[in-house]
Amino acid sequence: GQSLEQPSEVTAVEGAIVQINCTYQTSGFYGLSWYQQHDGGAPTFLSYNALDGLEETGRFSSFLSRSDSYGYLLLQELQMKDSASYFCAVKNSWGKLQFGAGTQVVVTP
Amino acid sequence: GAGVSQSPSNKVTEKGKDVELRCDPISGHTALYWYRQRLGQGLEFLIYFQGNSAPDKSGLPSDRFSAERTGESVSTLTIQRTQQEDSAVYLCASSLLGLAGTNTGELFFGEGSRLTVL
């Protein structure tokens, strides 16, 4: 089976940096993805890591360590619009994508 | 269309009735996924279709749930004898390539079908 763990909520002020950790257990691991979901909206893709290391996309970066079954999403220069839920998701070799329970990020002025 | 389309956007039904939810994926996307999301919760995997291969049904919560897909096009999720605990948003997503060997994990989600069972 598959399981993912991430914190339920993180609060930070505008301009700060937030790191959301994700640990996973799965068979046939192929990659780790991150999605953002605003209240009432559909999830949208942020990043994908198949290899160890850091992927940077603007203010957001994602990291993966396959040996540690661990990854994180780094949000820099936080803005109010970044208030949302963030989900990590593991992809197995068959293509199935399993999501974590999500981390609610609250950005305060 | 340009994106994943789901219908109906909202459905209110009585306990015990059957419902059908429809998903039109992005044209050319071989992989199609259904997820359930209860209020304030994460995305619960239901079923995954990849091309003409047998679907991964490991997430369907009971035999009241079933899904079909015609080739690489429309998919229908059917819930029979609905129960109040089935109330949730049902999200469909499609992906260009779902198999290992690709280096993208990007799913494109529809806006969901909100199901309320009274």
DSSP track, A82-97? G-EEEEEEEEETT--E
Could you say which of A41, A98, A102 has the minimum Cβ distance to residue B45?
A: A98
Contact yes or no for B82/B19 (Cβ under 8 A) = yes
Q: In the predicted model, is pLDDT for residue B1 greater than 70?
A: no
Q: What is the pLDDT of residue B99?
A: 52
What are the Cα distances from residue B102, in Å, to A74, A91, A94, B32? 24, 11, 11, 16
Beta carbons within 8 Å of B14's beta carbon, 6+ residues apart: B82, B117, B118
What would the pLDDT profile of A76-104 be if each residue is shown by its tens digit? 999 999 999 999 999 887 778 899 999 99
Q: Which residues of A touch B50 (CB under 8 A)?
A: 94-95
Q: Does B50 touch chain A (CB under 8 A)?
A: yes
B71 vs B35, higher pLDDT: B35
Q: Which residues 64-103 in chain B show a CB within 8 A of chain A? A: 91, 93, 95, 97-100, 103
The answer to whether A99 contacts B43, with C-beta atoms less than 8 Å apart, is: yes
